Structure 1
Amino acid sequence: MTESKLSGKGLISPAPQNPSCESVARKDIEQLLTADQARELFKVQDGKLVNLVRRGSRAMPGMFAGSPNSDGYLRVKINNVAFRVHRVIWLITYGEWPEGQIDHINGVRDDNRIENLRAVSVVGNQQNQHMRVDNTSGTTGVRLESGAWTAKIRVRGKRLHLGRFKSLEEAAAARKSAELLYGFHPNHGRTDSERRNGAKSFGTHSIMRSA
């Protein structure tokens, strides 16, 4: 059985003292792991990382790697440095780290199949968000205010007022038209249950790879 002592075999550079995704910039962390190193440690199978070598008593060859974080994303620790699983899968698949953020197209944060991942800017990621749990209208950006249904949308940090309407249907239509105009993903505004029930639907946008 193969066992990897990562820093000892040169598969990854020594980690900084007390490393964490919160205290060290993401790019600084990702410089510690190359595509070749990642491919020595894992293979990708159906959107999951599978250990190729023994990385400890709880990380044996053939076992899935990664555990859920409090934000719903999967993380894997390599030499005591935490990496997000979806970004490692991107690295192994394309041979490079994504330049920007990774958007889970169907909104399911632990669905790391490569066809469900796309590299996007911060703005692009914000345009494929789930509906807030405190939404009461059933449409993102629409609410009842002073007896009228109002529709709003936030584009590149600026909130735009789309109008006041007599009916919820009119306000929802205005909001959906604005989402189409400003390039929001078709999955934007779906509830978590809708996203999970339709987890195999990736919408009409193409999968994008960073340059």
Structure 2
Amino acid sequence: MLKSKPLPSQERLNEVFKYDSETGYLIRKGQSGHAGCINKRGYWQVYCDGVLYYAHRLIWKMHYGDIPKGMTIDHISGDPSDNRLSNIRLARVEENNLNRKIYASNKSGYAGIFKSGNKFVASIGRGGVNHYLGRFDDIETAIAVREAAAMRLHGEFRRVH
């Protein structure tokens, strides 16, 4: 697991920033507009005391305190620029990885589903093991089977599309 840089204290963050709960933006006190910028991967980043941080980590600490060891912040919607409190949650790294967006090369538009000949194949991974779920005549059945497996194996961190 990657080691994250230590965050400023909760007190310091609340001295420097205010948080707009409607937009999810950090605003530097004494200024208007959001602080920071979006990086190539879509995450808001902001400087605090000369150090660059991910805004979602600062927002979490401002509102809830320290991020527990072994945990990270997950964007529920998969949109890394959406830092509203309703869209961020604590997750283990493995859970956060389950909520990744599907690859751009995915042609079906659904995680774990691809077309093979005139059939749709569904599969799901868990713990480094890929589980074959079957071949189906229509995509709707493949999606339903994949979603049921995702609910069972991944729970609230599942991603379908």
Q: TM-score range by the shorter chain?
A: 0.7 to 0.9
Q: In structure 2, what is the equivalent of residue 66 of structure 1?
A: 36
Deviation at 1:109, TM superposition (A): 1.1
Partner Cα distance (2:33, 2:144) in 1: 47
Q: In structure 1, what is the equivalent of residue 26 of structure 2?
A: 49
Q: Does 1:94 align with 2:70?
A: no
Secondary structure of 2:140 counterpart = helix
- Encode CA deviations 1:129-164: one digit per residue, 9 max, x unaligned: 223222212321111224432111111222111122
Q: CA 1:180–1:97 in structure 2 vs 1: closer, same or farther (change >3 Å)?
A: closer
Partner Cα distance (2:13, 2:157) in 1: 33
Partner Cα distance (1:122, 1:186) in 2: 11
Partner Cα distance (1:141, 1:85) in 2: 31
Deviation at 1:107, TM superposition (A): 1.7
Q: In structure 2, what is the equivalent of residue 119 of structure 1?
A: 90
Alignment check: 8 A CA contact 1:153 1:159 kept = yes
Question: Which of structure 1's runs of 4+ aligned residues deviate more than 4 A?
Answer: none
Q: CA 1:186–1:93 in structure 2 vs 1: closer, same or farther (change >3 Å)?
A: closer
Q: Identity over aligned residues, as a percent?
A: 31
Deviation at 1:177, TM superposition (A): 1.1
- Encode CA deviations 1:48-67: one digit per residue, 9 max, x unaligned: 111125xxxxxxx3342111
| Greater fraction of residues in strand | 2
CA RMSD of aligned residues (A): 2.1
- Encode CA deviations 1:32-62: one digit per residue, 9 max, x unaligned: x111111111111121111125xxxxxxx33
Gaps of 5+ in 2: none
Match of 2:131 among 153, 160, 172: 160
- Encode CA deviations 1:79-99: one digit per residue, 9 max, x unaligned: 332110001000111122354
Alignment check: 8 A CA contact 1:152 1:161 kept = yes
Secondary structure of 1:107 counterpart = coil
Match of 2:112 among 141, 144, 169: 141
Match of 2:101 among 117, 123, 130: 130
Give the TM-score, by structure 2 length.
0.86
Q: In structure 1, what is the equivalent of residue 79 of structure 2?
A: 108
Q: CA 1:40–1:86 in structure 2 vs 1: closer, same or farther (change >3 Å)?
A: same
Give the TM-score, by structure 1 length.
0.67
Match of 2:6 among 30, 36, 42: 30
Amino acid at match of 2:131: L
Partner Cα distance (2:80, 2:140) in 1: 30
Deviation at 1:118, TM superposition (A): 0.3
Alignment check: 8 A CA contact 1:102 1:118 kept = yes
Gaps of 5+ in 1: 1-23, 54-60, 191-211
Alignment check: 8 A CA contact 2:133 2:146 kept = yes
